[in-house]
Amino acid sequence: MKLIFEKSKKGRACSILPPCDVPAVPLTPGIARHKKAALPCLDENEISRHYSALAKRAFGVNDGFYPLGSCTMKYNPKLNEEVAALPGFTQIHPLQPEHTVQGCLRLLDATSRYLREIAGMDAISFQPAAGAHGELTGLLLFKAYHQSRGDAARTKILVPDSAHGTNPASATMAGFQVVNIPSNTDGCVDLAALKTALGPDTAGLMLTNPNTLGLFDPNILEITALVRQAGGLNYYDGANLNAIMGIVRPGDMGFDAVHFNLHKSFSTPHGGGGPGAGVVGCKKPLEPFLPVSDVSLDGGIATHPESIGRVRSFYGNFLVLVKAAAYLFTLGKEGVPEAARAAVLNANYMMACLKNKYDVACKGTCMHEFVLSLETLKAKHGVSALDLAKALQDEGLHPPTIYFPLIVHEALMVEPTETESLETLDQAVETFLALHDVAEREPERLRSAPLATVIGRPDDVKAARQPILRYKGQ
Ligand SMILES: Cc1ncc(COP(=O)(O)O)c(C=O)c1O
């Protein structure tokens, strides 16, 4: 397929603008570009075809099964998109007088109440734009809290080795030192290692529960209590909230702050960079430090005198909040936990269907996702997690997350989500099982996959490290 620049023909265009009938205003000196932007010249028909062709090359939730572990790629109802596109939400500005945006403020108040209730938290900031951004915000709250108590010696954040990479990265960005806590043989936090790591320098713990192995830590109350006894705070990485929403609350598990990945659990399509929302909730003692953005009917727009400051403008990605509100209003008190239960049921169903052929990383019941290991298959037949992922693409499935969590060798992390039908799950199981047989009989076939996709095995590290973002240096 040609690049849009290669399709360009000088002089071709698709804008039909009326002649300018207002006086031309020259740009402030120094801000105009030196030479004309080298934009591709195409007519509207060609542009439309170009982007349609590109869209056909992408694989999204609307194309098929997308069990990308830890990402909760569930179906997002189109109704919520339509609601967020209503002019009352899109044709406004955050600096408008409050009396002209009462409906939006009411919606923010309701969203805040729903989210606080689901997380068991007292206050909210809508500002963070993604999960990792929420983590950073939460840890800055921890820092401000300790400093406000003259407890600046608390410099360490404990992070289990099963954590998502953003956890240690956010802790480091917030200026903390990261202490790695190993998992025990069951895949949960090793309590003895945790006790050894705790001390007067502990600022807090970051944990996702269920963790990235898809396991709910049975010792969670003891874990958070130990951290609290040592003077630390507990941060809940809410990326896996889809498994427990409406059933167990992070606040009741002993957490002091949490972020929501609204773009996972609450109806915003994601992948490819956003927009998302990593709304942060916290308990009362951390509230004075929140970025200013909470709205409540009784308290108006909150101001927090000891705030860590803005982490983003105004109320964050407002339309993502509107979608979350539409989703939560639709599902209600009964629907939210029902979605979580279905997500857990679907994962356990798939795991049960696969466990006789594939090695499951951790035995027993899983939550909303499970992790397979291809270590044996690789040792015996030379077929890796990457090979299987590529072969799944040939079969029209999006591959699961691979090589994560890092503590499982040749990991495939499968998260079916609650929005898949039994037929889709059965079909996916059939494909997984069939490919296992192929791996044993004709391993070379899997090693040369994919054959049906536009490109096969790009150098993904190079693509990430040295992306070509300009056409011929323009
Ligand atoms: C467990 C976990 N924590 C945190 C994050 C970070 O969220 P985001 O990608 O929105 O920054 C992710 C993202 O996949 C995750 O899976």
For ligand 1, atom 12, which residue shows the shortest CA distance? 239
Flag whether pLDDT at 298 surpasses 80: no
Counting atoms of ligand 1 from 1, which one is nearest the CA of 133? Answer: 11
Q: What percent of the chain has pLDDT over 90?
A: 86
- Specify the CATH architecture of the domain 338-462: Alpha-Beta Complex (3.90)
pLDDT tens column, 99-144: 999 999 999 999 999 999 999 999 999 999 999 999 999 999 999 9
Of residues 28 and 242, the one with the higher pLDDT is 242
What's the pTM value of the predicted model, to 2 decimals? Answer: 0.92
For ligand 1, atom 6, which residue shows the shortest CA distance? 131
pLDDT value of position 94: 87
pLDDT value of position 302: 64
* Distance of CA 260 from the midpoint of ligand 1 (Å): 10
Domain 81-329: give its CATH code: 3.40.640.10
- Ligand 1 neighbour 267 (Cβ under 6 A): no
Q: How many CA atoms lie within 13 A of 179 on its CB side?
A: 18
- Ligand 1 neighbour 166 (Cβ under 6 A): yes
- Ligand 1 neighbour 139 (Cβ under 6 A): no
Measure the CA–CA gap between 122 and 283, rounded to whole angstroms: 5
φ/ψ of residue 179, rounded to 5: -115, 120
* Distance of CA 5 from the midpoint of ligand 1 (Å): 35
- Ligand 1 neighbour 265 (Cβ under 6 A): no
pLDDT tens column, 390-423: 999 999 999 999 999 999 999 999 999 999 999 9
φ/ψ of residue 148, rounded to 5: -65, -20
Flag whether pLDDT at 33 surpasses 70: yes
Flag whether pLDDT at 98 surpasses 90: no
Counting atoms of ligand 1 from 1, which one is nearest the CA of 135? Answer: 4
Mutate to test the pocket of ligand 1, among 66, 68, 70, 401 (most ligand atoms within 8 A of CB): 70
Measure the CA–CA gap between 334 and 338, rounded to whole angstroms: 6
pLDDT tens column, 131-179: 999 999 999 999 999 999 999 999 999 999 999 999 999 999 999 999 9
* Distance of CA 448 from the midpoint of ligand 1 (Å): 31
Counting atoms of ligand 1 from 1, which one is nearest the CA of 132? Answer: 11
pLDDT value of position 293: 58
- Ligand 1 neighbour 208 (Cβ under 6 A): yes
> Which residues, at least 6 apart from 323, have a Cβ–Cβ distance to it below 8 Å?
76, 80, 81, 83, 84, 262, 266, 267, 268
> Which residues, at least 6 apart from 357, have a Cβ–Cβ distance to it below 8 Å?
432, 433, 436
Count other C-beta atoms under 10 Å from residue 30's C-beta: 5
Where does residue 190 fall: left (phi above 0), alpha (psi -120 to 50 degrees), or beta otherwise? beta
Average pLDDT along the chain: 94
Q: Where are the domains of the chain?
A: 1-15+36-50, 81-329, 338-462
Average pLDDT score over residue span 26-32: 89
Query: pLDDT category, 270, cuts 50, 70, 90?
Result: confident
pLDDT tens column, 37-86: 889 999 999 999 999 999 999 899 989 999 999 999 999 999 999 999 99
